[in-house]
Structure 1
Amino acid sequence: MAKTKTKLFLLTGLLSVFLATSGLSCKLFPTSQAPTSLTKEIELEYWGVWDDSDYLQPLINEFESLHPNISVNYRKFQFAEYEQNLLEAWAEDRGPDIYSLPASWLKEYKTKITPQPEAVRLAFQQTEQKLGKTETTTFVRNVPIFKPSDIKNQFVDVVYQDVVIDNQIYGLPYSVDTLALFYNRDLLDKAGVPTPPSNWTEVAEAVKKITQVNQNNEFIQSGIALGTADNINNSVDIVSMLMMQNGAQMIKNGNVSFHLSVDGYRPGLEALNFYSDFADPIKEVYSWSNDQPNSLDAFMSGQLAMIITYSYNLPRIKARAPKIDLGIARLPQIKDTYKTVNYTNYWVETVAHKTANAEAAWGFLNFASSEDHVSQYLAKAKKPTALRNLIESQITDPEIGVFASQVLTATGWYRGQDALKMEEIMRQLIKDLPNSPQPEKLLETAAAQVNQTL
């Protein structure tokens, strides 16, 4: 009897080996069944604001070819209507699986995000010719995804600070933008300014040469758009950047601290005063006012020599003002400073909390933001990279090289619950400062108000 059992065991073992090596075992003796949730037909809705479908479609097509059961449908919205559309859709249990979001909104939207799981599995198909027949096999396997340590090592520093919350990934960026100096070469040349200013002392000197006013002290030509809140694009970012360059610590021990003094010096207040001087008629650097048009419009019309803005405005400027001899220079720094501070404003792609297809959605985002694939997107969209390995290849680009050269030192500061409220408070601070009898108190009040939004 023992011999019979031994023979039966050996026969069963040999049969198993044969089936495994012949490729028949999975059909005759399936060891596992691929989850239906991963192999079924999946449609991912993807909502965004800034990207044209032409930028993303090549990535979508390539992803869909690898995963035929998944389709990605991208829809672009106007920024003014975007948030309202998101909230209304979620209230009705619909909306996107994937959506774009400013990085500074991540904490506010944390409960509306499905963080990336520890592993992502996707379905693949393999087609083979067997005995004159075409056979298609569907199988599921783990796909490469970024881990928190990868975010820290492969992306520029600000990305890790923004997207990794409680050691979980809440979003992935395709690009990181930075503030830079846009200038009209013709206006600088006519004013005798041979090169764009590289520090704020040089900015002040250039503005004195470029700005022209008539007998009524009305601007004929402005040197730079600084000093006001509502008619300057990204005025809050510019003021925040100046504060940080001047040594203000924006957040300390979890509290807003840009109002605090350092060894008897208030870097935040002094930076705000410097900014306001450009809209003060009694100052030598007077070059802007509340009566001026929008700064970007003034620049495109040829009335304004310099603006501080982001690369995402470059296509608009080129389209609307093709005759301007446009130059782009690095963001000015404080003269003789030992530390370079650049400022960023960028969006991330994330996965909605109500999606039924989180693995497929995160699978697509990891695919699209990986080095090999995002480089296609960046080349087409003309945007600066978020990945360290791609910086060198972009630095020589005549359009985005300046922005790419700044991403390693790019930073932001607000990671609270209401970025729009913070901006509203900061804009009001800019407006109130020139007429305030107690500027220190004004700054303290603004800091306390922003602190409530954290």
Structure 2
Amino acid sequence: MLSDQSNLPNFQSNPSQNLREGNTSSNQFFPQADLTNKPVPSQPFGGLPSGTGAQGSNPRASLSSLNINTRGGFRWKTILTGVALLALLGGAILFLASVFLKNKTKSNSKIVLTYWGLFEPEVVMQQVISEYEAAHPNIKINYIQENLKYYRERLQSAWAQGKGPDIARIHQSWLPMLGTYLSSVPSSVYDQASYGLTFYPSAKESLTFQGQILGIPLMYDGLSLFYNEDLFRSTGKVPPKTWDELRQIAQELTARDEQGKITTAGVALGVSSNVDHWSDILGLMMLQNGANLADPSDSLASDALSYFTLFSKVDRVWDATLPSSTFAFAKGNLAMYFGPSWRVFDIKELNPDLNFKIVPVPQLPGGRIAWSSFWAEAVFKNSSYQKEAWEFLKYLSSKEVLMKLYQAESSIRLFGEPYSRQDMADLLKAQPYVGAFIEQAPYAKNWYLSSNTQDNGINHQIIKYYEDAVNSVNNGADAASALKTTSQGVAQVLGQYGMLK
């Protein structure tokens, strides 16, 4: 509960506080020839009288004249029968041989698993794939790095047509859109218990669909608080652990010029237009305050929304005229910034010399809820090689292989994807850019307000309704009234994806 709102639920804001302004071959069967030994008809009644000397005029007049005996006819019958038997035997041999060759070819052919990835180039995956193929010579992994733009639509369209990859990377929030196309994790790979012990709670919670676990995460990410170390040091500040502390520090570190324009912003919060990851931040605030994101119609939700907009409306530590929060932070004009671990690469690219640190997100007193937003590997349920695909993902998610992947990723950038396994947390807790994310992973949650998934689906649609609410409040509307429309819109979207109970 905010320090200045002890008589109100959690995130209730109080504007009156003293604030600063601002592919099979078929077997071929050979048809049997008609080899029946048909008898030659005998001389018909009414033939020529014997001794007429007219034999030449009737070839059937006298068998003796043709010098054919019955023993010779029997010999021809025997020969023809033998030929028929040999033909049948030959046909059987050819059939058996074709079956043998077909099975041998099948056993010697490679199983090709097509794998759509997103963020890692082939050079990163090459070592672990080559090692797996060496240990499984009948398997070939065809890894393809896809572009995130329109990725969800391409993937879903391919699967809907019975095509597409055997394995694909999906966001943890995509099961309402893709769940019906996915194979469940076999118990031989991970059963429910071992899955829960291996990966973070948010993975099991968000990747379970109709009682079945449908994905294996190879990484973890979420939200953390970045702060400008130089600004904090020069003013004797320490990173905030609560929202009250964050609000106070933000006011004290905000600087303006003579016209009142912000030159150094305290924290990027309050608006949707230039606060990167604002939907994740608002979702976090609402979850921490106990709000129901599927039906944000009560005071718990409206209080959190009011508190979010307070930073721009009342405290004026940020406003819509400023550049994007990522850019402002990278340029040293923003004291505090919320983002996922991969934003470090953007910041370092913009300003390699910026001194900053990353800590867990602030909490309400007595609370402990963080925000996750990560990707996982899934298997197409119509794949001919589901078993092989899951076995490969079991291999990829092992500790040894994840360490190799992290090392390969770190060879081309500042650090690799944070580990998805709970038993690997200690390996990264001291890492300056990743440690805070790993620290929060055991108590992180997720919902359909995940930014930058580019799904043009459930996240995009729900975020739009919440965005309308933020804009309405900033334009003077009451938070509770604004969220009534949001609640109706969210229900419509959830119903579209069969998510309403």
* Alignment-mate amino acid for residue 67 of structure 1: H
CA distance in 2 between partners of 1:321 and 1:364 (Å): 39
1:204 and 2:232 are equivalent in the alignment = no
Identity among equivalent pairs (%): 27
1:305 pairs, out of 319, 322, 335, with 335
> CA shift at 1:37, angstroms?
7.0
Question: Residue 168 of structure 1 corresponds to which residue in structure 2?
Answer: 212
Is structure 2 residue 423 aligned with structure 1 residue 418? no
User: What is the Cα deviation at residue 385 of structure 1?
Assistant: 2.3
- Partner SS for 1:359: helix
- For 2:437, the equivalent position in structure 1 comes to 403
Alpha-carbon offset, residue 88 of structure 1: 5.1
Change (3 A) 1:414 1:439: same
Q: Give the number of aligned pairs.
A: 381
Matches of residues 319-358 of structure 1 in structure 2 within 5 Å? 319-334=349-364, 337-358=365-386
CA offsets per residue over residues 285-321 of structure 1, 9 Å max, x none? Answer: 3122222222111111222221101112122222332
Which residue of 2 is the match for residue 258 of structure 1?
Answer: 296
The alpha carbon displacement at 1:333 in A equals: 1.2
Residue 311 of structure 1 aligns to a residue whose secondary structure is coil
**Counterparts of 1:200 and 1:163 in 2: how far apart (Å)?**
30
Q: Does 1:158 align with 2:191?
A: no
CA distance in 1, matches of 2:445, 2:407: 24
* 2:136 is the counterpart of 1:79: no
> For residue 97 of structure 1, what is the amino acid of its counterpart?
D
Q: Is the 8 A contact 1:193 1:206 kept in 2?
A: no
1:175-222 superposed Cα distances (whole Å, 9 cap, x missing partner): 1212111111122233x1432222111111111121112233322111
Of the three residues 282, 307, 314, the one matched with 1:274 is 307
Does 2:263 match 1:220?
yes
Answer whether contact 1:55 1:380 (CA < 8 A) is retained.
yes
What is the CA–CA distance in structure 1 between the aligned matches of 2:206 and 2:103, rounded to whole Å?
Answer: 35
Q: Do 1:179 and 1:344's aligned partners in 2 also have CA atoms closer than 8 Å?
A: yes
TM-score by length of 1: 0.78
- When residues 217 and 155 of structure 1 are mapped into structure 2, their CA distance, relative to the original with a 3 A threshold, is same
Q: Which residue of 2 aligns with 1:5?
A: none
Could you tell me whether the CA contact under 8 Å between 1:243 and 1:268 is conserved in 2? yes
Offset at residue 113 of structure 1 (A):
1.9
Amino acid of the structure 2 residue aligned with 1:430: V
- In the alignment, which residue of structure 1 is the partner of 2:170? 101
Higher strand share goes to which structure? 1
SS in 2 for 1:268: helix
Change (3 A) 1:408 1:39: farther
Pick the structure with greater CA Rg.
2
Structure 2 alignment gaps of length 5 or more: 1-101, 410-415, 451-456, 495-501
CA distance in 2, matches of 1:223, 1:114: 47
1:234 corresponds to which residue? 277
Q: Unaligned regions of 5+ residues in structure 1, if any?
A: 1-32, 120-144, 251-255, 261-265
- Conservation of the 8 A alpha-carbon contact between 1:162 and 1:415: no
CA distance in 1, matches of 2:187, 2:250: 53
Q: What letter corresponds to residue 272 of structure 1 in structure 2?
A: L
1:74 aligned counterpart, secondary structure: strand
In the other structure, the counterpart of 1:10 is none
Report the secondary structure of 1:426's partner residue. helix
Give the C-alpha shift of residue 322 in structure 1.
0.7
Cα 1:194–1:442 change in 2 (3 A) is closer
- Structure 1, residues 333-392: CA drift from partner, whole Å, max 9, x if none? 12xx22211111011111124433222221211110123322332344423222111112
Q: 1:97 to 1:205 in 2, by over 3 A?
A: same
Counterpart code for 1:218: K
* Closer/same/farther in 2, CA of residues 348 and 39 from structure 1, 3 Å limit: farther
Equivalent of 2:181 in 112, 116, 133: 112
Q: Distance in 2 between matches of 1:244 and 1:67?
A: 45
What residue is the counterpart of 1:364 in the other structure? 392
C-alpha distance in structure 1 between counterparts of 2:306 and 2:252, whole Å: 21
Q: Distance in 2 between matches of 1:57 and 1:246?
A: 45
SS at match of 2:319: coil
Deviation of 1:227 after TM superposition, in Å, equals 0.8
CA distance in 2, matches of 1:293, 1:78: 26
What one-letter code is carried by the residue in structure 2 that aligns with 1:338?
Answer: G
Per the alignment, do residues 349 and 35 of structure 1 end up closer, same or farther by CA in structure 2, a change over 3 Å counting? farther
Q: Is the contact made by 2:449 and 2:462 (CA closer than 8 Å) also made in structure 1?
A: no
Cα 1:329–1:438, aligned 2, differ >3 Å: closer, same or farther?
Answer: closer
Q: 1:38 to 1:232 in 2, by over 3 A?
A: farther
Give the corresponding residue for 1:374.
Answer: 402
Q: What is the identity, as a one-letter code, of the residue corresponding to 2:471?
A: K
Q: Is the 8 A contact 2:280 2:449 kept in 1?
A: no
Residues 175 and 346 in structure 1, CA contact (< 8 A), matched pair in contact too: yes
Question: Distance in 2 between the 1:211 and 1:243 partners?
Answer: 25
Structure 2 CA distance for aligned equivalents of residues 401 and 39 of structure 1? 47
C-alpha distance in 1 between matches for 2:195 and 2:287:
24
Residue by residue over 1:381-418, the C-alpha shift from the partner in whole angstroms, topping out at 9 and shown as x without a partner, is 42322211111222122221111111011111349982
1:231/1:353 Cα in 2 relative to 1: closer, same or farther (>3 Å)?
Answer: farther
The alignment's TM-score, normalised by the length of structure 2, stands at: 0.71
CA distance in 2, matches of 1:343, 1:415: 10
SS in 2 for 1:204: helix
Q: Does 1:389 find its partner at 2:423?
A: yes
Equivalent residue for 2:467, pick from 427, 432, 437: 427
Is residue 227 of structure 2 the alignment partner of residue 183 of structure 1?
yes
The residue aligned with 1:453 is 493
